Amino acid sequence: MSDYDYSVIMPVKDAERTISQSLESIFSQTILPKEIIVIDDNSTDRTFEVVQTYSPIIKVMLNPKSGVAAAVNFAVPLVATKYISFLDSDDLWMPTKAEKQIEYLMNNPTMDVVCSSVLNFSKERFDDVNFQATREFAPSRLFTASTFRQATFEKFGPLNESVGHFGWLYTWWSRADEAGIKTGAINEVHLQRRIHENNSWVVHKDEGHKALIDLARDNIRRRAHDKR
Amino acid sequence: MSHDYTLIMAVMNAEKYIGQTLESVFNQTLLPAEIIIIDEFSTDRTVEIIQSFSPNIKVLNNIRPGMSAAMNFAIPLVTNEYIAFLDSDDIWVPTKAEKQVEFLNQNTTVDVVCCAALNFRKDNLEDLDFKVYREFAPTRLFTASTFRASSFEKYGFLDESVGHFGWLYDWWSKASEGGINVASIEEVLLHRRIHESNSWVSRRDEANQTIVNIARNNIKRRTSNIPEIK
């Protein structure tokens, strides 16, 4: 096993139009992953077929439950490498993303996770591959822009599957912050993020905002409990 | 009646003014019970300067990109009754928090209170002595307001998909439709720094386009219940 071994976890659902481009961006990495674990959330299009024939290093499995959080929780224990990264099925990695993030974690042994800057892209038509850059963003802790140590999930726990779309991401980081997670950042664009009308953050906005309310209530409850 | 408020700030590479801004917070006659700063992984001395003020300031890294995402991350962490916001280049007048919190305590049906603002500008970027530029009547800038924390549960969180300039207009549009009760203190409690890198100046076209989009969304939302005329 090499020091650079990493796995990619991709939760997918009805992504036949973009999944090949996303996979291509993995296969264009300067360091290839040991394995790619694709968790298919019961797609009704050809996603499963497209992925299955793509490469022998891809394991594709059906999500035993539903939702991104459940897919990630199912995949993480299957990982046999030291590093784990994630890729959304409509995003694209820049070719040196994996190499630079893994090197960062090697050189900074106290960091649990590292993320990078992202560039948003939009397009006229959904199948148009010539995206136009709309805006560059400073690093943020999107899973799809990050590489984690496998041990990070042992230390900070799995994702909460019952808090919906915005929910799991905000909940996981909030609890990890409380527990003292250390995040590093590389100020270089390593992820191209596709902005379109079907982005889950747009489609599931109401569910997301409800999750934030639940999170706020939960924090107030916990604070009151701590005071007693 | 509680006087506890949380101050939320989103910062990125703000080393130039963050010291002055935080000084204006620590000069308040009513200090915040908690300060949460969402840092977009600043590469300058921003975090160091923040930490030199107090080890109790919570500095957290942004989870999703952008200002509205930073606020959506911070707001649910608040367990105090009131929330105030402050832009990393603005300055509070010493009685800002006290007057606004007192106002909300005395006016229990008011969701949010804002104040008048004084714009400052300077001749060159290095100049820290800003000149008074213009006084403005109260407006609903987040940086000039104190909110009941419950406002976000009642009127919703910020829409992260409407862009850097969109979330403010979008939130107030929806909150107004939802019947939010806004009051104002007719007194300058905020000094607003105007400079070339203010995003409304440097990204004017994007801002204007966003406002057109918000207007369209509003029309769509408000007419969605009206049956189509055939």
Question: How far apart, in whole angstroms, are the C-alpha atoms of residue A203 and residue A197?
Answer: 8
What tens digit of pLDDT does each residue of B192-207 get? 888 766 666 677 777 7
Q: Do B69 and A215 touch (CB under 8 A)?
A: no
Instruction: Please give the interface size between A and B, counted as residue pairs whose CB atoms are below 8 Å apart.
Output: 84
What tens digit of pLDDT does each residue of A146-161 get? 999 999 999 999 999 9
- Min Cα distance B109 → chain A (Å) is 21
Instruction: Quote the tokens at residue B128.
Output: 């820290």
Lowest mean pLDDT among A200-204, A211-215, B148-152: A200-204
Q: How confident is the model at residue B125 (pLDDT cuts 50, 70, 90)?
A: very low
CA-based radius of gyration for chain B: 18
- Of the candidates A118, A169, A202, the beta carbon closest to that of B65 is on A118
Closest CA to A53 of A26, A23, A77: A23
Per-residue pLDDT, averaged over A202-206, amounts to 77
Interface list for A 185-204 with B (CB within 8 A): 185, 187, 199, 201-202
Count other C-beta atoms under 10 Å from residue B177's C-beta: 12
Contact by Cβ (8 Å): B138, B212: no
- Best of B36, B57, B75, B157 to mutate (most A CBs within 10 Å, chain A): B157
Higher pLDDT, B99 or B193: B99
What tens digit of pLDDT does each residue of A69-104 get? 999 999 999 999 999 999 999 899 999 999 999 999
Closest CA to A4 of A147, A161, A124: A147
Residues 6+ apart with CB under 8 A from B74: B8, B10, B36, B38, B60
For chain B, say whether A12 makes contact (Cβ under 8 Å). no
For chain B, say whether A61 makes contact (Cβ under 8 Å). no
Q: Is B93 a residue whose pLDDT tops 70?
A: yes
- Min Cα distance A30 → chain B (Å) is 26
At residue A134, the pLDDT reads 74
Instruction: Quote the tokens at residue A213.
Output: 């309310």
Closest CA to B76 of A1, A177, A54, A144: A177
What tens digit of pLDDT does each residue of A24-67 get? 999 999 999 999 999 999 999 999 999 998 999 999 999 999 99
At residue B127, the pLDDT reads 56
- Of the candidates B43, B62, B75, the beta carbon closest to that of A140 is on B62
At residue B209, the pLDDT reads 77
Q: Do B40 and A140 touch (CB under 8 A)?
A: yes
Residue of A nearest to B64 (CA): A140
Instruction: Quote the tokens at residue A154.
Output: 């042992």
For chain B, say whether A119 makes contact (Cβ under 8 Å). no
Q: How confident is the model at residue B48 (pLDDT cuts 50, 70, 90)?
A: very high
Give me the interface pTM, i.e. the ipTM. Answer: 0.88
Q: Is A166 a residue whose pLDDT tops 90?
A: no
Q: How confident is the model at residue A1 (pLDDT cuts 50, 70, 90)?
A: low
% of chain A residues with pLDDT over 90: 70
At residue B225, the pLDDT reads 66
At residue A138, the pLDDT reads 94
Question: How far apart, in whole angstroms, are the C-alpha atoms of residue B60 and residue B169?
Answer: 26
Q: Do A169 and B64 touch (CB under 8 A)?
A: yes
What tens digit of pLDDT does each residue of A111-138 get? 999 999 999 887 655 455 566 677 889 9
**pTM of the predicted structure, to 2 decimals:** 0.89
Partners of residue A215 in chain B, C-beta under 8 Å: 76
The 8 Å CB, 24+ separation contacts for B131-135 are B133/B194, B135/B188
Residue of A nearest to B41 (CA): A139
Q: Do B73 and A173 touch (CB under 8 A)?
A: yes
Closest CA to B97 of B29, B10, B162: B29
